[in-house]
Amino acid sequence: MNAKKISLLVGIVVVLALLLSSSAALAKPPATEPVEKWCKGVRIVFFPGGPAGGVFANNVYNGARQAELDLGPEVEYVFSDWNPQKMIQQFREAAATKPDGICVMGHPGDEAFGPLIEDAIAQGIIVTSQNTTLPTLEEKYASKGFGYVGQDLYGSGFALGTEAVKRFGLKAGDRAMVWGLLSQPTRGLRTKGVIDALEKAGLVVDYIEIDAATNKDPAAGTPTFAGYVSAHPDVKLVVTDHGGLTATLETYLKAAGKGPDDIYGAGFDLSPATVAAIKGGWTDLVIDQQPWLQGYLPILQVCLTKVYGFSGLHIDTGGGFADKDNIDFLAPLAEKEIR
């Protein structure tokens, strides 16, 4: 090959390289300045409800934490062991620090929470609720950003009771035990919904109030459960109106000397333990109220109100059922504490 041809080939290669380089540069998106998170600088106190790391409360916390990372506010987390009196005192302390917003669990109810929340709102603090409604306060202060994220409490309880009767072929005269929280003014509506549905179907319902020790640490209720089953060997259905107790149902049944097919088990909220219990036949029906959303959306609510002046949003996080037919899909999400 002569020098002229070599020179021509080299020229073609150089041109092609330049064209490719130019094409790549055109395809590359232009550099942009990092976008500042739109809720940066907003300070929020958030109540996940239960003990740190506890079933359900941790899902709520994970949702709130993700919203904090996505939106940019500064969030302080306050855990309450599901104790309404503790929530009241902690709210008082939180309001004294004058944050931009407070996201509360509504367990203490309108009457107990009312004066404190009204005073906080008067000071310019945005207050919103999750998990348990505060209907009077929400109606009064919706224009100031007071919203709700959670289930329709009575409706979800009634739905679970109705579905349990239908799925398990229960009939009038059959015995059921409901372990719940009727003593709490608004939170107790879910328990009441379960009882009403079962009694409407003609079942004999034995009610047990979840005591403070079991509310905080579900394992503490094991002797209570075993004692009840021993005294009522004909019980066919147990409904646990508490995510932590639902997650402990396998332990309760084993302690009572029962196998996975001896008593139908129904309850609320997914967790890795509940997933395992459903797969093993120990738990038969669970309502998933999507607690991760009960963490994420209240943070978003405060940010929307503080930055853009939006009013309160009332969001039902749903009442889908989890059982052996769909648990394989939900299991990986439950393991990540998202569902």
Output the DSSP codes for 43-96: EEEE---SSTT-TTHHHHHHHHHHHHHHH--EEEE---TT-HHHHHHHHHHHHH
Query: Under CATH, what is the fold of the domain 153-288?
Result: Rossmann fold (3.40.50)
- Which 3 state secondary structure label does DSSP give 177? strand
Output the DSSP codes for 292-315: HHHHHHHHHHHHHHHHH-----EE
Position 122: which residue type?
A
Cα–Cα dist 20/13, whole Å: 11
Q: Which two tokens stand for residue 284?
A: 């038969």
Residue 185's pLDDT is what? Answer: 86
In the predicted model, residues of the chain with pLDDT beneath 70 are 1-35
CA distances from 306 to 100, 113, 140, 229 (A): 7, 22, 18, 52
Q: To the nearest whole number, what is the mean pLDDT of the chain?
A: 90
Instruction: Work out the burial of residue 106: count CB atoms within 10 Å of its CB; fewer than 13 is exposed, 13-18 middle, 19 or more buried.
Output: buried
Residue 24's pLDDT is what? Answer: 40
Residue 32's pLDDT is what? Answer: 52
Tell me the per-residue pLDDT of 15-46, one tens digit each, with 9 for 90 and over.
333 333 334 433 444 445 556 899 999 999 99
Position 292: which residue type?
W
Superfamily grouping for domain 43-151+290-318: Response regulator (3.40.50.2300)
Q: Which two tokens stand for residue 263?
A: 């008593």
Is 304:100 a contact under the CB 8 Å cutoff?
no
Residue 31's pLDDT is what? Answer: 46
Residue 50's pLDDT is what? Answer: 94
In the chain, where are the structural domains located? 43-151+290-318, 153-288
Instruction: Work out the burial of residue 70: count CB atoms within 10 Å of its CB; fewer than 13 is exposed, 13-18 middle, 19 or more buried.
Output: middle
